Amino acid sequence: MNIPKELKYEKTDEWVSVKDKMATVGISDYAQEQLSDIVYVDITLSAGDKVNKGTVIATIESVKAAADVNMPIGGTVVEVNSALSDTPELVNTDPYGAAWMVKVEMDDPQDVKSLMDSAAYEKYCADRTH
């Protein structure tokens, strides 16, 4: 399982990459492994939308299950990864790169402090698999 050290994580398996006030959000390698083969991604936001922490921002369907993607921080959507609707399998092959879901300008950069670092998220994932 790949858990990049520079990212922050939510208990609902989203990751956040922060640069200044900009945050990029996607789902973790652990989440995509649990879902298995992703066949559909529907991001329900558009650029300019205001979003709160905890809001459902996307639905992902796999051959095994469907899952919601939740916003780990609040902010204004700057960009949506429209490529995922045509190539949902990117979530399986590159969850931390090409499969990012939304980019937001954070309302409060301090929101990131409520998220787990990579070591805490790794322990959290290990605790769930035993």
What CA–CA distance (Å, rounded) separates 126 from 129?
Answer: 5
Which strands sit side by side in the sheet containing 102-106, from one edge to the other?
Answer: 8-9, 14-19, 22-27, 102-106, 75-80, 50-51
Instruction: Give the mean model confidence (pLDDT) for residues 94-113.
Output: 95
The predicted structure's pLDDT at residue 56: 96
Element (H, E) at 78: strand 75-80
Domain positions in the chain: 13-108
- The rounded mean pLDDT for the chain is 95
> CA-based Rg of the chain, rounded to a whole angstrom?
14
The predicted structure's pLDDT at residue 69: 96
CA dihedral sign, ordered 105, 111, 117, 121: negative
Instruction: Give the mean model confidence (pLDDT) for residues 42-68.
Output: 95
- 93-125: b (≥16 Cβ within 10 Å) or e: eebbeebbbbbbebbeeebeeebbeeeebbebb
The predicted structure's pLDDT at residue 109: 86
Higher pLDDT, 130 or 25: 25
In this predicted structure, the answer to whether residue 129 has a pLDDT above a threshold of 90 is no
In this predicted structure, the answer to whether residue 102 has a pLDDT above a threshold of 80 is yes
Instruction: Give the mean model confidence (pLDDT) for residues 62-71.
Output: 94
- List, in sequence order, the alpha helices (H) in the chain: 29-35, 83-86, 90-93, 118-129
- Domain 13-108 class? mainly beta
CB atoms within 10 A of CB 31: 21
pLDDT tens for residues 10-54? 999 999 999 989 999 999 999 999 999 999 999 999 999 999 999
In this predicted structure, the answer to whether residue 130 has a pLDDT above a threshold of 80 is no
